[in-house]
Amino acid sequence: MSDFLTGLAFFLIIEGLVYALAPLVLVEMAKRLPYVPEYQLRLAGVTSVAMGVGLVWLVRG
């Protein structure tokens, strides 16, 4: 449970940094998001998940 909460904390830190340091970039990305094809969004999501799992596997290895 401790590892999960640590991961959640890091996620919140990174999200907060994006909003604090580059809010206009985030707004522009959100405006363009509806025009990105669904398959590209899914591919980006699956790629992110795979990279995250691989990183955890390497670190915990």
Taking only the tens place, the pLDDT of each residue in 36-45 is: 999 999 999 9
Distance CA 34, CA 41 (A): 10
Measured CA to CA in angstroms, residue 26 lies from 8, 49, 53 at distances of 21, 21, 25
pLDDT tens digits for 17-40?
Answer: 999 999 999 999 999 999 999 999
Number of domains in the chain: 1
What region, left, alpha or beta, does residue 53 occupy, with left being phi > 0 and alpha being psi -120 to 50 degrees? Answer: alpha
pLDDT at position 61 is 79
Neighbours of 45 (CB within 10 A): 10
Query: Does 2 score more than 90 pLDDT?
Result: no
- Domain, as residue range, for 50: 2-60
Q: What is the largest CA-CA distance in the chain?
A: 40
pLDDT at position 40 is 97
